[in-house]
Amino acid sequence: MRPFLLYCIILFFSIPCGATTYFVSTSGSNANDGLSISTAFETLQHAADIVLARDSVLVEDGVYTGFALWSGGTALEPIVFKALGSNVLINAPGPTTDGINVENADYVIIDGFVVNDQPRNGIRLALANHCVVRNCRCDNNFERGIFTAFTDAIIIEYNICSNSTDEHGIYVSNSSDRPIIRYNECFGNNNIGIHLNGDLSAGGDGIISDAQVYGNYIHDNNLAAGINMDGVANPIIYNNLIVNNHFAQGIALFQQDGAIVTSGAKIYNNTIVVPSDGRWGILMTPGANENTEIHNNIIINLHAWRGSISCESTVNLSSDYNILSNKMSNQGDGVSITLPQWQALGMDNNSLLADVLEDIFMDHLNQDFHLKSDAQAVDAGNGTLVSAIVSEDLDKNIRPGGSDIDIGAYEFQSLVTSTSYELNTNDIQLFPNPVAGVLNIEGDFEDYNIEILNTNGQIVQTLTGSLSPLNINVSTLGAGLYFLRIRKIGNNELSVFSIVKK
């Protein structure tokens, strides 16, 4: 069960002057001009060879060979490759051994592709800054689902990366600063779910700075960790559901190839359940404790003697308001102590010893880790400690929902009876209004939050509580690509629309 659903529809509103939209179809021909569905190109690579800043490539459902892109866009004029349906499958590599390869190309958006069975990576980006990979599915690729190297300010969101036969689901490497990795699902990978590595030996400063990893569902991976961080400075890790990862830590902070020990981490409101064949909930090697904060997490370990948190030094470590197993360590992986002994070191004085899983979660045997109404986690956190970062839960419900924030990735919702609510997009029509600069939506949005985001994921306009018809004034927005996000208040329901503003 995935903790969220995503539905996408495309709208191009007032195409910017000088931009070209190309189409690719399995029934097309590279001898065509590519400017309509009826005159579409046949191959993705042909479109990639001619696309320029501002241009978009829209791809019909079908089976394709992959492509490599060596030209980029700008902040206001990104290059966009977007699937028109949900079954645009790339099952053979392009010029490299990857399904999609973006290299030496900034400001590129890859949206909605299925990339399977590649000899190296499903999707690879290298020396590519300010790029976005969203809504893609990458399965059974040999090394990784999504891999990046030297990619500052990359956004990786709403992807499913599964069953990599050698390595990881998502791997961000090589001094890639300010990555945002959010709302992805990573499962069945041979090694790590989400891996970040500064890679000093590859050049650069060997440090990944200011990473944000949140809202991800990481489960049933093998080896190392659900989230693995080597050489990462000041990461923010919150609202992740990390469960059933075998022979692995939930979260690991350490130094191996990176230039520094990962430290300064803010680890808030994650739900981590380690199976009996796993390792530690959170493992920190010496130095990772420095200025690291661990608050409002559920960290339960079913291993015989390994436990919730292992850290050889508690100096400058802040850990509290967590739900924990009665197994901790201040001596590394090999030894465990009880929670009271850990508390005697000044740690987790307001934390709780975990009840049995059946008393905390709705149905953990079927991967439903929402909280029961009487779970010990409800209202038991400390919102003040995390309020600068955590304002929603994994389902995007507002925190706190009660007298204080709940512990773990989910906030208990007394009125929500379903965890997967599908938006009927047939009831919503999106079209340009004849009045310049106004976007009109038909539909009842009284119980919705409506936001416009730029390509960096920043909210630039917010509307709430609107009845049909809804008129959105976009005249104040600068030229470029935006995303209209419609979210049901108090539920998982989510739709995203693309807008190209002149």
Q: What is the number of residues in the chain?
A: 502
For 334, residues 6+ apart whose C-beta sits below 8 A from its C-beta are none
Q: What is the pLDDT of residue 14?
A: 38
Q: How far is CA 435 from CA 103, 163, 486, in A?
A: 41, 49, 22
For residue 7, the model assigns a pLDDT of 33
* pLDDT above 80 for 357: yes
pLDDT exceeds 90 at position 324: yes
Where is pLDDT greater, at 119 or 332?
119
pLDDT band at 263 (very low <50, low <70, confident <90, very high): very high
CATH class, domain 425-501, is: mainly beta
Fill in the amino acid letter for 11: L
- This prediction's pTM: 0.82
Residue 314 has pLDDT above 80, yes or no: yes
Q: Is the pLDDT of residue 98 over 80?
A: yes
What ranges do the domains of the chain cover?
A: 167-181+199-420, 425-501
- For residues 91 and 117, is the Cβ–Cβ distance under 8 A? yes
The answer to whether 354 and 298 have CB atoms below 8 angstroms apart is yes
Lowest mean pLDDT among 215-224, 393-402, 403-412, 440-449: 440-449
In which band, very low, low, confident or very high, does the pLDDT at 493 lie, cut at 50, 70 and 90? low
In order, the DSSP letters of 194-235 are: EEEE--GGGSTTS-EES-EEES-EEES-EEEEEEEEESEES-
Interval 101-144: pLDDT, tens: 999 999 999 999 999 999 999 999 999 999 999 999 999 999 99
Determine the pLDDT at residue 242: 98
Asked whether 360 and 212 are in contact (CB, 8 A), the reply is: no
Which tokens belong to 430? 């999106």
Helix (H, G, I), strand (E, B) or coil at 50: helix
Q: Which two tokens stand for residue 451?
A: 């936001």
Give the residue carrying structure tokens 């059946």.
358
* Structure tokens, 101: 């390869």
Across all residues in the chain, what is the average pLDDT? 88
Residue 420 has pLDDT above 50, yes or no: no
Residue 431 burial class via C-beta count within 10 angstroms: exposed 0-12, middle 13-18, buried 19 and up: exposed
Which stretches does DSSP call E strand in 210-360?
Answer: 212-214, 217-219, 222-230, 232-233, 236-238, 241-243, 246-254, 266-268, 271-274, 282-284, 292-295, 298-301, 309-311, 317-320, 323-324, 352-353
pLDDT at residue number 105? 98
What does the alpha-carbon distance between residue 26 and residue 43 come to, in Å, rounded to a whole number?
7
Q: 215 — alpha (psi -120 to 50), left (phi > 0) or beta?
A: left
44 secondary structure, DSSP code = H
Tell the residue number behind the tokens 């009125």, with chain if given: 415
Residue 287 CB contacts under 8 Å (≥ 6 apart), including other chains: 255, 260, 261, 263
Q: What percent of the chain has pLDDT over 70?
A: 83
Rounded CA gap, 378 and 355, in Å?
A: 13
Sign of the four-CA dihedral 333, 208, 139, 298: positive
Confidence of residue 498 (pLDDT cuts 50, 70, 90): low
Say which residue, 440 or 51, is predicted with more confidence: 51
Q: What is the pLDDT of residues 155-190, one digit of tens each?
A: 999 999 999 999 999 999 999 999 999 999 999 999
Dump pLDDT digits (tens) for 42-55. 999 999 999 999 99
Residue 391 three-state SS: coil
The angle subtended at Cα 102 by Cα 97 and Cα 104, nearest 5°, is 120
If one compares 476 and 252, the residue with the highest pLDDT of the two is 252
Q: Which residues of 233-265 are buried (b: 16+ CB within 10 A; e: fewer)?
A: bbbbbbbbbbbbbeebbbbbbbbeebbbbbbbb
